[in-house]
Amino acid sequence: MEPVIEMNPEATKWDIREKVWDYIEENNLANFPRPVHNRIPNFKGAFTACAKVPELQVFTQATEVKVDPDKPLEGARLAVLEAQKKLLVPTPRLRTGLFNNIAPPQGASKEQLRICSSSQGVKDFSVPVDLDAKVKVDLVVVGSVAVSEKGLRIGKGEGFADLEYGMMALMGAVDESTVVVTVVHDCQVMDIPEELKESHDLTVDYILTPTRVIKTDCQIPKPQGIIWTKLDTEKLEKIPVLKKLRALEEEAGKDVTLGAAPVAPEPGLQTSQPKRQTRRRPRQKIQQDDEGESKPEKMAESEQKARQWRPTRVRKESRGDGGGGNERGKGQTGENIKEKGPEEGGGEVISQRKLPLSVTTVYLGGIPAGLRVSELKTALREREATPLRLTWQGAQHRAFLDYSDPQAAEQALEALQDLSLNGHSLQAEMAKSQRGGKRSGQSNRRPRPPTAPISKTAPPDTESDTNEKTEQ
């Protein structure tokens, strides 16, 4: 099968990463979190690809499986738990140790196992594994940015997968019999020049995509331990477990000389990512000014900041624009926010409860007809994704969930992936437009309309599909 993405033979690892990230974004091949730049992409079809993990013979024979905490590997973690095998997941950025054993509750249901396989479940149901614990990992599942059919792999540039494998080799947790599998989108399988392979780089034995299972027959040796010259004092300060391993190596008479702080744009285990220009097509956001006129606004240079619109107040709305997308009604800002009058099909409501100065909004679409808001609230509680405020738009089959900050919203999004209610799959993603957003230099106050005095009391708490309903 010919690679979808073709690269110049002289391309660097960062050239390849940027090309893959750009291609996935431009072709809308990823789910949350977006943008995929500087991440292991959570590609569409990840669960389909992960479903191939238990079909491998090595999985059937495995007892202990290590799966990275990346979002696209959630299906692989779930497969390990469902097969009642021991699941080991590295601690995020190795801050508190090497890895944790994920221990679900006794007699856990499939839904509970799904929660355990999520990032929140990894935090809530993890048991730290000591460095001197007897661990033998039979199968390793890693994410990748790019991979070749020959088994060469490129990660996101921070070197954690390579370092984790070297640490496991040092502990005796992996050996030549350990199989390494990566799960990627088909477009991420490409030709990678062998000259880019470095001594610390991890190679893979199997590549799983939504449509293929590729056995690489790679003969290149995997890391046999930690190459200390690839690390520096800054890296050791960020990863305390490395200090312990280095002390053990030093006691054993090994050379543990560290390297100098990296200065090249692409060191093997760099501690920071090089600055670069994103090459995605420019986009514009449309915002309503105080006079109701639309004005284009360029997206911020940082893609993450561009997706974190910050509304200062969120309240009950009327039907908005009546569309089916994940944007709310016309944007307004102000201390006091007025609703459409009854003649316009809405009630007038002012939020009395003070929310944080800024909130991050999540769009929830595909809500089936007949679903009650109480049922949605129950599902949100069960997944530990309860928002500060819920805006219900049953007639448009959607709802908006407001969270205190982007981190809380991201955790909620992860928990809401693959949410299904009344036999319908719901779609959760960041809201495209978050009403009431305040930008630098923009006033958060607007003149009060001269007509229709603002009511101080909310209408009765109903579950009508003709009006929006906001729950706090």
> 382-406 pLDDT, tens per residue?
788 888 888 988 888 899 998 888 8
Residue 196's domain comprises: 13-215
Q: Which residues of the chain have pLDDT under 50?
A: 267-323, 329-353, 434-467
Task: Based on DSSP, count helices (H) and strands (E) in the chain, helices before strands.
Answer: 12, 19
What pLDDT is attached to residue 236? 83
Q: Is the pTM of this model over 0.85?
A: no
For 321, 410, 428, the CA distances from 32, given in Å and listed in that order, are 25, 8, 8
Last residue in a domain, options 149, 180, 215: 215
What pLDDT is attached to residue 338? 36
- The verdict on residue 109 lying in a domain is yes
Q: What is the largest CA-CA distance in the chain?
A: 83
Number of domains, the chain: 2
- The verdict on residue 441 lying in a domain is no
CATH of the domain at 386: 3.30.70.330
Last residue in a domain, options 215, 241, 270: 215
- The verdict on residue 77 lying in a domain is yes
The DSSP string of 60-123 is: HH-SEEEE---GGGHHHHHHHHHTT-EEEEEPGGGSS-SEEEE-PPTT--HHHHHHHHSHHHHH
CATH of the domain at 56: 3.40.50.10420
What pLDDT is attached to residue 160? 83
Last residue in a domain, options 215, 245, 265: 215
128 phi and psi angles, rounded to 5 deg: -60, 145
For residue 127, what are the β-bridge partners?
101
